[in-house]
Structure 1
């Protein structure tokens, strides 16, 4: 979008993303407010400013190929923005006048390392970046439908149900926090890649009440190729809800949800993760999954196999202190459930299982052989 030779205007809560060159340009514009926008993923600059006076505040300016903001001449204020992971510079000042840019978040970098100004070229003015923000500002996501490849980073707030449309990829960067307001969730019809780091977990949590079922769920529908690793998912109704999705989950903590995750079909791989303090850790329905090397503890039911559990492989997990059952086979499940070589938190595994031995006509949990002591594990236990 080019705003040229214009006076007064408010451009708020828009998306200027994935353009070939620049997301938004101001040229000879006066008294313009640029507030609360996503300006990201553009081929050269996110925002260009020339001969303009404006307030640039509260924007998410990230992942542009060269510059977050390119400035030639500017009279105004650039403040309280999240400026992160732009290719060359967060702000590149190509003019002789100084630019006021206080109280921005610079993506965890020192401002002078991501700003090009008088310190680099004496003929230019100075970017005045006093009181830099140590942590990202909460940024309320402005869109209900995400229709182009998008990266979330920093602190994203979701206040209404949002969808990632088919053919679109949502990438969530390490160290990102995603907060959901009450009852909201995220529907993935495209693909979600949420790969954190051991020291930079991605956290999906409640914005308000820190209690189970405060927000809804992340639902993946035919979202093949999605991957979730080194994340924390907490205070949801269902942390993850997957249908007909080839999904990989690893090193992730599901904590204090009504249900950690539920899935239908698959294939799903769940490894090195922790399911703790949920009513149900995992629920499988007509599932095809490998569930291995996890800690499943402190839930009411560790794994609930609703129907057709023969496609599951549950192995090398540590089950303990699940108050009802480690595994409960549902009334409509007529298949045996393969669950060999687990530690059951007890030398009497049958006491921790609900299957055809308690209710004739449903499948049995095939638990033998079983471990006599817990596996040593290093899983996704904490943020």
Structure 2
């Protein structure tokens, strides 16, 4: 993917559109390739495949609204996995999105009435650093999708997405977030995730481990009200999955295990090992503000 930015630039016929070197609110939609130092504030409109090039850095100021417009056909060339239909921000460089409790950063569809899956993803592709703090993500296919990247996500809200956080082969820290009312909360394989002190509430599936989970640490989370399953294991998860020291909304073993799609249902899958379990919610879980 080293020549990705150049190839995409040729496809789209643009070199740079709407770049900001000193900080700006973007009235015209951005599309194509962004290079150098980028500083966003105010309302920023994205349309189609917007690429932050390798070596570039994007800083997003508190209170910024990053709004994803529906793409026109020539601006959405990348639609097959690991990319997504709809407008998306594809990040090869560094991204720092640091909001505040009073001025969170929003990533959402330009149409506030649009449903989940209305835009693609913030798609981290071997990003050396991505930080999201005090952010709100809504209406995405996969709000954050990461491959081969170093990522930290903290004190943020994910709601009404098809998938809130989706990743593989990444060093990722997910802590003190509220992940609610998504089809899937956290979906991953491989990688080395640290997932602690989050609230996952009212998702269809809170966790979906698709294959070969390893080097993971999932503790001190409140996992509540999962509509289908609290944990789903994919076809390539034959081993036990260790998820002790989480709070499941009850201490009743039968009720907790009914929320697992694992070896208790299909013999060739591993089983979720949840003991010892927390007997009451973790008071420190979730964001340190009220989104």
Q: What TM-score do you get using the length of structure 1 for normalisation?
A: 0.64
Pick the aligned partner of 2:48 from 145, 160, 165.
Answer: 160
- Matched position secondary structure for 2:90: strand
Query: Do residues 178 (structure 1) and 81 (structure 2) align?
Result: no
Pick the aligned partner of 2:107 from 204, 227, 230.
Answer: 204
Looking at structure 1, the residues matched to 20 and 232 of structure 2 have their Cα atoms a distance apart, in angstroms, of 48
Mapping 1:81-96, distance limit 5 Å: none
Looking at structure 1, the residues matched to 47 and 214 of structure 2 have their Cα atoms a distance apart, in angstroms, of 39
Looking at structure 1, the residues matched to 197 and 235 of structure 2 have their Cα atoms a distance apart, in angstroms, of 27
Query: Do residues 356 (structure 1) and 263 (structure 2) align?
Result: yes
Question: Cα gap change, 1:361/1:154 in structure 2, threshold over 3 Å: closer, same or farther?
Answer: same
Query: Do residues 339 (structure 1) and 243 (structure 2) align?
Result: yes
Q: What residue number does 2:275 align with?
A: 368
Q: Is the 8 A contact 1:232 1:382 kept in 2?
A: no
Q: What residue number does 2:83 align with?
A: none
Query: Do residues 247 (structure 1) and 130 (structure 2) align?
Result: no
Q: What residue number does 2:208 align with?
A: 304
Q: Deviations over 1:106-154 (max 9, x none)?
A: xxxxxxxxxxxxxxxxxxxxxxxxxxxxxxxx62344410111101111
Question: Cα gap change, 1:194/1:39 in structure 2, threshold over 3 Å: closer, same or farther?
Answer: closer
Question: Cα gap change, 1:40/1:166 in structure 2, threshold over 3 Å: closer, same or farther?
Answer: closer
Q: Deviations over 1:70-104 (max 9, x none)?
A: xxxxxxxxxxxx5xxxxxxxxxxxxxxxxxxxxxx
The number of residues matched between the two structures is 258
Gaps of 5+ in 1: 1-12, 17-36, 42-61, 64-81, 83-137
Question: Cα gap change, 1:39/1:334 in structure 2, threshold over 3 Å: closer, same or farther?
Answer: closer
Q: What residue number does 1:233 align with?
A: 137
Gaps of 5+ in 2: 1-13, 71-85
- Matched position secondary structure for 2:235: coil
Mapping 1:71-110, distance limit 5 Å: none
Q: What residue number does 2:229 align with?
A: 325
- Matched position secondary structure for 1:159: strand
Looking at structure 2, the residues matched to 271 and 217 of structure 1 have their Cα atoms a distance apart, in angstroms, of 20
Looking at structure 2, the residues matched to 295 and 142 of structure 1 have their Cα atoms a distance apart, in angstroms, of 34
Asked which structure has the greater RCO (Cα within 8 Å, sep 6+), the reply is: 2
Query: Do residues 145 (structure 1) and 33 (structure 2) align?
Result: yes
Q: What residue number does 2:10 align with?
A: none
Report the alpha carbon displacement of residue 163 of structure 1 after superposing the two structures with TM.
0.3
Q: What residue number does 1:222 align with?
A: 126
Larger radius of gyration: 1
Q: Is the 8 A contact 2:51 2:92 kept in 1?
A: yes
Question: Cα gap change, 1:185/1:15 in structure 2, threshold over 3 Å: closer, same or farther?
Answer: closer
Report the alpha carbon displacement of residue 336 of structure 1 after superposing the two structures with TM.
1.9
Looking at structure 2, the residues matched to 340 and 226 of structure 1 have their Cα atoms a distance apart, in angstroms, of 28
- Matched position secondary structure for 1:154: strand
- Matched position secondary structure for 2:214: helix
CA RMSD between the two structures:
2.0
- Matched position secondary structure for 1:296: strand
